[in-house]
Amino acid sequence: MSSQKNYYWRIAGFYFFYYAFIGMFAPYWSLYLKSLSFNAIDISILMSVQPVMRMVAPNLWGWLADHTGKRLTVIKLAATLSLVCYLGVFVTTQFWGMMLVLSLMSFFWSASMPLVEATTLTFLGKKSEHYGRLRSWGSLGFILSVVGLGYAFDYIAIAWILWAGLVCELGIWLFAWQIPPTQAQAHHTDQHSISKIMTQPRVLALFGACFLMSVAHGPYYTFYSIYLVDHDYSKGAVGGLWALGVICEIAVFFVMPYLSRRFGYTQILAVSFSCAVLRFLLIGWTVDFLVLLLFAQILHAATFGAYHAASVGLIHEFFKGKHQSRGQALFGSLTYGAGGMIGGLASGSIWQHYGASVLYTCSAAVALLGVGLVSKINMQAAE
């Protein structure tokens, strides 16, 4: 029992620092880039580097982990190389230099999470519905990072973000070497090719819907902080708004075992996408009304928390046995990677030429398209 608890904290520590890095990067890196005098197009391109690498890298690393059977070795290698490449941000402030550093760092940084997700679900075994509670440590790391840095940047230069990122990278590296060994259980679908699983209509519907959700969130992760600062919110308030969403996300993670048993993953996804439509309309058109903006952040509980837990749960159902790592990697690549890249890249031009209200209305429209695809997901376990 003590060994199980020890393993729990090893995985929790990795989640904590991994999402603390996101809590540093997603809200504030665009502000750092703006301080370097990059324009909106440059910022959207540089902020899209990470989603691009999340599209390419996890699939390659997932294949390597499944092919060699050395998932932990791949996690350790990726974390080490991510840390080394991150050091480049201290020596470049030019567009192409920043592009190179972020590309290399993200290529390795994005590799580890799908593999850790597969490890976590293997570790939980038949208690996979408790995934959200373990994952909530990542949300806690995000909150501490986004709130702490938000208030700090009201008093110190935004350039200190580089050191905050280094602390997060060191934490990721440390806990990557503590991840427990797990062994995926053999399954009769092991003989199937990954393409046979991927081309099932319900799997395609899931990937398509999740791709659209990531596209819809692209403008949020790229320009939300700049949007708020432009409307005279302090950086501390920006951090507080980001944190509110993640606090609600944690609450949902803790009740996901009940929600998944009561409603099922597909119904949870349908509600999540519907909430995303409302949330992005509120962000786009009510930014000057704090109460409505607070409500929009509360909806993060559905648009990310419940959505993410339900999606990962479905992927775990569809990709069994030796396909677990590859399944989670494909999910990360095709949804958070490809979807985030397209949403981020498109947001720059729309923001510059049409403004924030139109941009976030586009996000709402994309989320609405996802509602239709969710209805096509079959909840029965893959044969």
Mean pLDDT along residues 295-301: 96
DSSP code string of 172-241 = HHHHHTTPPP--PPP-GGGGS-HHHHHTSHHHHHHHHHHHHHHHHHHHHHHHHHHHHHHTT--HHHHHHH
> How many domains are there within the chain?
1
| pLDDT cut 70: percent of the chain above it | 91
Q: What is the pLDDT of residue 379?
A: 44
Kindly state whether residue 381 falls inside one of the protein's structural domains: no
Domain that holds residue 178: 2-374
What confidence tens digit (pLDDT) does each residue in 13-67 have? 999 999 999 989 988 898 899 999 898 889 888 988 888 888 888 778 877 877 7
Q: Measure the CA–CA gap between 45 and 43, rounded to whole angstroms.
A: 5
360: helix, strand or coil: helix
Q: Measure the CA–CA gap between 253 and 76, rounded to whole angstroms.
A: 27
pLDDT band at 383 (very low <50, low <70, confident <90, very high): very low
Q: Measure the CA–CA gap between 323 and 105, rounded to whole angstroms.
A: 26
77: helix, strand or coil: helix
DSSP classification of residue 91: S
What confidence tens digit (pLDDT) does each residue in 104-138 have? 999 999 888 878 877 777 777 666 666 777 888 98
DSSP code string of 136-153 = HHHHHHHHHHHHHHHHHT
- Which CATH number fits the domain that encloses residue 258? 1.20.1250.20
Which strand (E) or helix (H) includes residue 46?
Answer: helix 40-47
Kindly state whether residue 124 falls inside one of the protein's structural domains: yes
Looking at every residue in the chain, the average pLDDT score rounds to 86
Q: What is the pLDDT of residue 169?
A: 96
DSSP classification of residue 302: I
Q: Measure the CA–CA gap between 154 and 354, rounded to whole angstroms.
A: 29
Which of these, 51, 338, 316, 19, lies nearest to 210 by C-alpha position?
A: 338
Q: What is the pLDDT of residue 363?
A: 97
Kindly state whether residue 382 falls inside one of the protein's structural domains: no
Kindly state whether residue 43 falls inside one of the protein's structural domains: yes
Kindly state whether residue 57 falls inside one of the protein's structural domains: yes
| pLDDT cut 90: percent of the chain above it | 44
93: helix, strand or coil: coil
Kindly state whether residue 379 falls inside one of the protein's structural domains: no
Say which residue the tokens 């690498």 belong to.
53
Indicate the range of 81-85, 200-204, 280-284 predicted with least confidence: 200-204
Cα angle: 308, vertex 314, 318; to 5 degrees: 145
Q: What is the pLDDT of residue 102?
A: 95
Kindly state whether residue 136 falls inside one of the protein's structural domains: yes
Q: Measure the CA–CA gap between 227 and 195, rounded to whole angstroms.
A: 41
pTM exceeds 0.85 for this model? no
Longest CA–CA span in the chain (Å) reads 58
Residue 373 CB contacts under 8 Å (≥ 6 apart), including other chains: 205, 206, 208, 209, 212
Cα angle: 92, vertex 234, 364; to 5 degrees: 85
284 pLDDT more than 90:
yes
Q: Measure the CA–CA gap between 33 and 83, rounded to whole angstroms.
A: 20
Kindly state whether residue 231 falls inside one of the protein's structural domains: yes
pLDDT band at 281 (very low <50, low <70, confident <90, very high): very high
